[in-house]
Chain A
Amino acid sequence: MISLKLAYRNLTGAGLRTWLNVTVLSFAYVVIIFHQGLIDGWHRQGLRDLTEWEVAGGQLWHPSYDRYDPMTFQDAHGVINGRIPGYVKSKLAVPVLVVQGTAYPQGRLQSIILKGIDRSQSLVKLPSSALAGDSGKINAVIGTRMAKSLKAEKGDYILIRWRDKNGAFDAAEIYIAEIFKCDVPSVDIGQIWVPLDKLQEMTGLHNEATMFIVSDQYKASDTDGWKFKEKAYLTKELDELIQAKRGGGMILQGILLIIALLAIFDTQVLSIFRRQREIGTYIAFGMTRYQVVGIFTVEGAAHSIFAAVLGALYGIPLFIYLYYHGITFGLGDMGLTLAETLYPYYSLQLIVITVAVVVIAATIVSFLPARKIAKMKPTDALKGKLQ
């Protein structure tokens, strides 16, 4: 208690030196919480978008299907049978047929993936209702990125070519019935969504699908030979990307924290050197060396407490503003599950861990130079003779 009281007096009495350290350390707090909050916000938004647009409660894949290998698409389809039609009927599963193809926008050639989906589905946010239309046309919906890539607009016709179940090429014009905006690139980039029944008819794969998007109520044990891919597996890519970004950010945060801690360390070393007489006086008046080490350690560590308070003063209003208004980066075309506007998310856990890490680190760097006091001869300290 006495250490706390003396440390508080010494710190507030040290004036500008204390506040410079506190200010630098408060930047570390704010930057760490801001950056981690931004990454957490991105993660939450990404997971939500993936769930709403692509993953839902998981997917059932044909055993041959590999979403990263378009060469598997030709054979990755199977008949919708067993218990699956029941799930489809009760809206627990939505069949999707995946076919590789080519688009010819304005005479150019562009690889595409044709995806047939039920027009009446409601498991994912894809505007599949726009796929309904007269039987003479092949209505298609595409994302904004795909539209940009195709240089297509709503109402345009685009020639596409695909192989049917026998490997024979066929071609037709599709009608762009809707262009949707979505932050999930795997639903948008290179993807053309058409009615499932049309695609089945175009390929001759009647009553067949490549995969099913299933709802949260779907029981993973009833797969009928299809491979169930749970949500965690389907969002793994995003998780890994976030982890990589978090790791990279932590290096920068670590550097900032080290700079702030070095300032405290330097202050401590200087303080112990300059205040030798004071240290000798403490000992002469009955403090043990370890009590004096305690005062100096608490003094250094108290920088981190003051910094937390100062950081809170300007950080909290900033964080609240960003939480509600977000930050617009305009990086939506990078091929990442990344919204144009990110809304940082600051969890209690993030704040508690950040404060704990900074306080512990500040205490350690304060203690290291203060250990020297334990070896000081009080007679030399009183004379200010130590080097």
Chain B
Amino acid sequence: MDTEKIIKLDRIVKKFPVGSGYFTALNEVSLEFGRGEFAGLVGPSGSGKTTLLNIIGSLDTPTEGDANVLGKSLIGLNHKDSAKLRNQHIGFIFQTYNLLPVYTVYENVEFTLLLQKMSADQRRKAVLEALEWVGLTDKINSKPAMLSGGESQRVAIARSMVKKPEIVLADEPTANLDSENSHHILQTMKKLNDELKVTFIFATHDEKVMKYLERLISLADGKIISDRMNHTGLKEQK
């Protein structure tokens, strides 16, 4: 891809302490992602997908190596600056939706905007627009407990997209959904990727998701096994 590289990972190592030793979750992983990519980290459980996603999202720090997101090195970034980066530029979609149970659909989507200095009118407009993208304007007053899994995940997508981030990180977004809802969710995300040029990075081992991805990065035991454009063959192998 010749697009602007907004994520650069250079020889990322992540080790977790286990007993008296360490478990290496990522081993010298180097990757780049361009603006507007619809890419996926694929591989079995324990391959390091989520860990890599967490490092890109500045939720975790690498043990070694350098991670640069949107021109900002994540190494040594303090809590406040990493929170600002996530708040302004990165959206998250989780397998378990992570909707706030006491809030309505509207409030769940609005929540992320409360952290930004936006007027109530601006917030309302943005929230309604985001809910329109995912087709849930009729559920704005519902609580998460009243929603189906598919609807909950659509709310989560709206929540991650409402601030128009440059990067959305989706960790197993379809794992709890049936086939029909999975397709619906993925179509929605692809549409947003096309229209808003948002970079989507998935962590998944779901075949349904892989069919939608333009780039597949396979991980195993913390290493990149393959990095290829989908349907276009192997791009690179490490």
Partners in one complex: yes
Smallest beta-carbon distance A205→chain B, Å: 84
- The CA of A323 and the CA of B94, in the complex, are separated in Å by 59
Query: Which B residues, 87 to 118, have Cβ-Cβ distances below 8 Å to chain A?
Result: 87-88, 92, 94, 96, 98, 100-103, 107, 111-112, 114-115
Size bracket of the A interface:
20 to 34
Interface residue B231 (Cβ < 8 Å from any Cβ of A): no
Decide: A286 near B102, CB < 8 A? Known: A5-B114, A9-B107, A382-B94: no
- Pair A277/B102 contact, Cβ less than 8 Å: no
**How distant is the Cα of A281 from the Cα of B96 in the complex, in angstroms?**
11
- Among B35-43, B52-60, B130-138, which stretch is in contact with chain A? B52-60
> Are A278 and B86 interface neighbours, CB within 8 A?
no
Contact residue among A281, A286, A288 (Cβ-Cβ distance under 8 Å from B98): A281
User: Count of B residues near A, CB < 8 Å?
Assistant: 26
Within the complex, the shortest CB–CB distance from B84 to chain A, in Å, comes to 7
Tell me how many residue pairs across A and B have CB atoms closer than 8 Å.
Answer: 65
Asked if A286 and B87 sit within 8 Å, CB to CB, the answer is yes
**What separation, in Å, do the CA atoms of A283 and B57 have in the docked complex?**
11
Q: With A288-B79, A379-B60 as given contacts, are A14 and B86 in contact (CB-CB < 8 Å)? A: no
Q: Across the interface, do A280 and B98 meet the contact criterion of CB distance under 8 Å? A: yes
- The reply to whether B54 and A379 form a contact with Cβ atoms under 8 Å apart is yes
Cβ-defined contact, B112 with A285, below 8 A: yes
Contact A9 B102 (CB under 8 A): yes
Kindly state whether residue A115 has any CB partner on chain B within 8 Å.
no
Query: Please, which residue of chain B has its CB at the minimum distance from the CB of A374?
Result: B79
Cβ contact within 8 Å between B100 and A278: yes
Q: A288 and B80: CB pair below 8 A?
A: yes
**For A9, what are the chain B residues with a Cβ–Cβ distance below 8 Å?**
102-103, 107
Known: A2-B115, A284-B92, A286-B83. A278 touches B98 (CB 8 A): yes
In contact, A284 and B57 (Cβ under 8 angstroms): yes
Task: Report A-chain residues with C-beta under 8 Å of the C-beta of B57.
Answer: 284
Q: Shortest CB–CB separation between residue B198 and chain A, in angstroms? A: 16
CB of A289 closer than 8 Å to a CB of B: yes
Contact partner of B102 (CB less than 8 A), chosen from A10, A283, A288, is A10
B112 to chain A: which residues have CB within 8 Å?
Answer: 285-286
CB distance from B193 to the nearest CB of A (A): 20
B102 touches A287 (CB 8 A): no
Does B102 lie within 8 Å of A377, measured CB to CB?
no
Q: Is the CB of B103 within 8 A of A283?
A: no
- A190 contacts B by Cβ under 8 Å: no
Do B83 and A377 touch across chains, with their CB atoms under 8 A apart? no
Which residue in A6, A283, A284, A286 is a CB contact (below 8 Å) of B84? A286
Q: In the complex the two chains form, is B100's CB within 8 Å of A281's CB? A: yes
Determine if A37 is an interface residue (Cβ-Cβ < 8 Å).
no
Tell me if A285 and B111 are in contact (CB < 8 A): yes
A284 to B60, CA, bound (A): 11
- B binding-site residues for A, Cβ under 8 Å: 50, 54, 57, 59-60, 79-80, 83-84, 86-88, 92, 94, 96, 98, 100-103, 107, 111-112, 114-115, 159
Apart from the given pairs A278-B101, A289-B79, A379-B50, 16 other A-B contacts in the complex at a CB distance below 8 Å: A5-B114, A10-B102, A12-B102, A280-B98, A285-B86, A285-B92, A285-B111, A286-B112, A286-B115, A287-B83, A287-B87, A288-B79, A288-B83, A377-B60, A378-B59, A378-B60
